[in-house]
Amino acid sequence: MADHLRKFESLFTLTPQRMRMIVEAFKESLELGLAKPGQVVPMIPTFVLGWPTGQESGNYLAVDLGGTNLRVCLVSLEGGGKFEITQSKYRLTEEQKAEDGQALLDFCGECLKTFIDSSIESGTIGKDEILPLGFTFSYPCLQNKIDHGELIRWTKGFSAPNIEGRDVVDMFRQSLAKYSVPAEVVALTCDTTGTLIASHYVNSNTKIACIFGTGCNAAYMEKIGNIPKLAHLGLDPKGEMAINCEWGAFDSFEHEHLPRTKYDIVIDETSPKPGEQAFEKLISGRYLGEILRLIICELIDEGLLFLGQNTYKIEIPYSFDTAFLSLMESDPTDELLMIIGIFSYFFAVETTLAERQFFRALAKLVGRRAARLSSCGIAAIVSKMGYLEKGCSVGADGSLYNKYPGFADRVHEGLRDIFGEKGRNIVTYHAEDGSGIGSAIVAAMTKQRKAAGIYADI
């Protein structure tokens, strides 16, 4: 097992030199995405113009179509950076992710109607109120104004037909009309842009926001003059606009820069979108468990694991959840009891102590690579924007960041390996709720901006 572990250490370990090379390639992709439409990393202008003041107030609805759940929120912004939030969650089935696109949005409209009806009954929403709504749709969309977005491609395992290339806001408005929902869609945003705005609302040193969960993404505030593909709009070049990077697509198609192993290639080739979302497939929570499962299956085929046992359960694709890696890494108990439980309960196989120690070491390798690659993405934005000297805060959210043991520490370690001691100036922290609070703040900012007649047509 020790010989095999050394092989995997060489496969999954990223040196500081390799990381710096990835950062440079990443920066080039970011610049290219700002310069021209239709690039691999699309660098999507969000039409969120500038930072919130912290004094936004009023009641706003937020609908978040996430990777696992649909979430509906009522956010009361109270000014002074304060807010209250009530919410409901609705689980998305794998069938819904693959069914007709309009049917998926109809489900969103129906759930929103249920939430509003119950809020009217409890008195938190007035009976005749039509509330402004921020729609969080965390998939790459082409936007030419804040309440418009054409889905470029699905990510996070969605494949619903009849929606790619169409305006999701227009489709969602049809769903709201179908169920007579008293809400006005004011802004379309993604959870990452919302996280950027919500985190800055409470911590003005926040310059970047990242999501490390089922998918991965980043957003930051860019000078409009540095976005050549928007030059035709005649906006003030000194103004600022939030950019939704959609960096999960970095190094897609050509695969020139990222350290893909044969396991990563299998995941890519058997995914709904082969060749796409190359960065995401190496670091997001949807795929880390599958990477480890593929390694285990290879070793089973080589006659090295679970000798004489029936292993059909672990041979089912995506049966090994990324949460299992978290548990395996956090297991401090004698002889790794947590790992015993995972394999016996979920996969009906018994493990030896040597196997358990091997699995824990493998989980660390896969998790550490994901965190260090994540730090490359952060470093690319920091380097591009010149944030290293003064330092900045990075609002980070998502199940990997919040629940995976040591993930944040490894990101910080990666930043130090890339930048040296100055890497300590870049600090990640648990972000504010972007898909709920952030979406509501964006809706509030948009209402105020348009009421003041500032770029009212976008």
Q: What is the pLDDT of residues 157-169, one digit of tens each?
A: 899 999 999 999 9
Percent of the chain whose predicted confidence (pLDDT) is above 70: 100
| Number of neighbouring beta carbons within 10 Å of residue 338 | 18
SS3 call for 242 = strand
Catalytic residue numbers read 138, 153, 191
Residue 219 pLDDT exceeds 80: yes
Which residues face 206 on adjacent strands? 393
Q: Give the model's pLDDT for residue 66.
A: 81
Residue 335 pLDDT exceeds 80: no
User: Residue 2 — pLDDT band, cuts 50, 70, 90?
Assistant: confident
User: Residue 198 — pLDDT band, cuts 50, 70, 90?
Assistant: very high
Q: For the whole prediction, is pTM greater than 0.85?
A: yes
Give the DSSP H/E element, type plus range, for residue 43: none
CA-nearest of 15, 116, 123, 20 to 73 is 116
User: Which domains can be identified in the chain, with CATH numbers?
Assistant: 50-202+433-443 (3.30.420.40)
Residue 332 pLDDT exceeds 80: no
Helix-, strand-, coil-residue percentages of the chain, each rounded to 5: 50, 20, 35
Mean pLDDT of 176-193: 94
User: Residue 433 — pLDDT band, cuts 50, 70, 90?
Assistant: confident
* DSSP sequence for 387-441: -TTT-EEEEEESHHHHHSTTHHHHHHHHHHHHHGGGGGGEEEEEPP-IIIIIHHH
Residue 91 CA, distance from chain mean position: 18
